[in-house]
Amino acid sequence: MQLLTSMNSILIPAAVIPAVVLMLYIYKKDKLEPEPTGLLVSLVVLGIISTAIASFLETIGALAIGVLLPEDSLLYNALFYFGVVAFGEEGAKYVLLKRRTWNTPYFTCQFDGLIYAVFVSLGFALWENIGYVMQFGFSTALVRAVTAVPGHACFGVFMGAWYGLARRYAFAGDAIASKRCRRLALLIPALMHGTYDFITTLESPIFSLVFIGFILVMFILAFLLVRRLSATDHFIDGKDHSGIDAFPPYGQPPYYNGAAQGNPDPRQVNPYSQQPYYNGYPQQTPYGQQGYPQFNPNAQQRNPFGQQGYPQYHPNAQQVNPYSRQPYGSGYPQQFPYGQQGYPQNNAANNDPNGSNQQ
């Protein structure tokens, strides 16, 4: 009895720890608004419940396929693992995921969808892993810690990426795009899951290498997707989240429903033109183009030499040619001195009252 208790104290943590580590990793990737602990725990519980639903569906599906095809044949395995196991497990996860989180007030960011899906998937993996480890021992725990458990996490990542996008479109009022994304949230992880299981049934050294390559590619893609979606996360519910750093850097994906589309400034309107920003930058360029002051912000709105935007006359206080008494034109005298039009025709010396210069 003591030996059994001692074994359980080793095997159960070995089965649980990999899932918990991945949950903590995903949780820490939430940069904007951490999800409530109670909600996340409920998602893990729903993941455990989904194992019972999946088990029931797999039993019915195996009986139905077994009537038509010989068990363990290639076609039987293909239909069973793709059509029954994959869609049964991922479908059970998705239904419970959507029922619990779609209308929760905490679903405010696109990355939240990924967190929710991964926690449901890891709840499923945690419970399934306990069963396998208790049945087959510690060596199974080691193998599944680097294959099946992170595999379920990857299925959850791809489900959650599309699920979060579906919620964003729903907030934006695009029901068609939202529905399309919800379908992909089930279809893509189900196909990945079916491929994972089906390859393991192919007893060949070549397919063993194929399996290793498949899971490595899947793990890398999931890791990159988590990192990207975490870095570009933003609020999607259209509400005011003042005081929270909800605005991504310039050039990051846009906001929707009342949030500036990429601009980090919570003001949604160009302060000059009172027109909205687009793509994080004003639509216009300064000095006279739409969206900015039409004139130079300098106090003088006219060109000092007659060009538009500044005074049309010379800034000299005298606006009249002192020789001809005629106004300046484009900022310079219209005439030339000494005998040309607009000036005295004789040298100023000819006006000498003493007539000393007369010939």
Tens digit of pLDDT at every position of the chain (359 positions): 554 455 567 788 888 999 999 999 999 999 888 999 999 999 999 999 999 999 999 999 999 999 989 988 899 999 999 999 999 999 999 999 999 999 999 999 999 999 999 999 999 999 999 988 888 888 888 889 999 999 999 999 999 999 999 999 999 999 999 999 999 999 999 999 999 999 998 888 899 999 999 999 999 999 999 999 999 999 998 876 765 544 444 444 444 333 433 444 443 444 444 444 444 444 444 444 444 444 444 444 444 554 444 444 445 544 555 565 565 554 444 444 554 554 444 444 444 444 444 44
Residue 333's SS3 state is: coil
- Integer Cα distance of 115 and 17 in angstroms: 18
pLDDT of amino acid 237: 83
Range 251-274 burial, b when 16+ CB lie within 10 A, else e: eeeebbeebbbbbeeeeeebeebe
Residue 38, amino acid? G
The number of helix segments (H) and strand segments (E) in the chain equals 9, 0
Instruction: Return the residue matching tokens 């995921």.
Output: 97
Structure tokens at 125: 């993996």
Instruction: Return the residue matching tokens 């580590």.
Output: 21
For residue 255, give the nearest of 284, 231, 224, 278 by alpha carbon.
278
Please list the residues that pair with 281 across neighbouring strands.
278
Cα pseudo-dihedral 82, 84, 85, 87, rounded to 10? 80
- Tell me phi and psi for residue 298, to 5 degrees: -55, 145
For residue 115, give the nearest of 175, 50, 179, 47 by alpha carbon.
47
Give long-range contacts, CB 8 A cutoff, 24+ apart: 141-149.
141/11, 141/14, 141/15, 142/14, 144/15, 144/18, 145/14, 145/17, 145/18, 147/215, 149/18, 149/19, 149/22, 149/122, 149/125
- Integer Cα distance of 322 and 333 in angstroms: 9
Instruction: Return the residue matching tokens 């905490």.
Output: 106
pLDDT of amino acid 5: 58
Chain CA centroid to CA 186, Å? 20
- Tell me phi and psi for residue 109, to 5 degrees: -125, 155
pTM, two decimals, is: 0.67
- Taking each helix axis from N to C end, the angle separating 148-172 and 2-28, rounded to the nearest 10 degrees, works out to 40
Residue 110's SS3 state is: helix
**Taking a C-beta distance cutoff of 8 angstroms, is the pair 252, 233 a contact?**
no
Residue 8's SS3 state is: helix
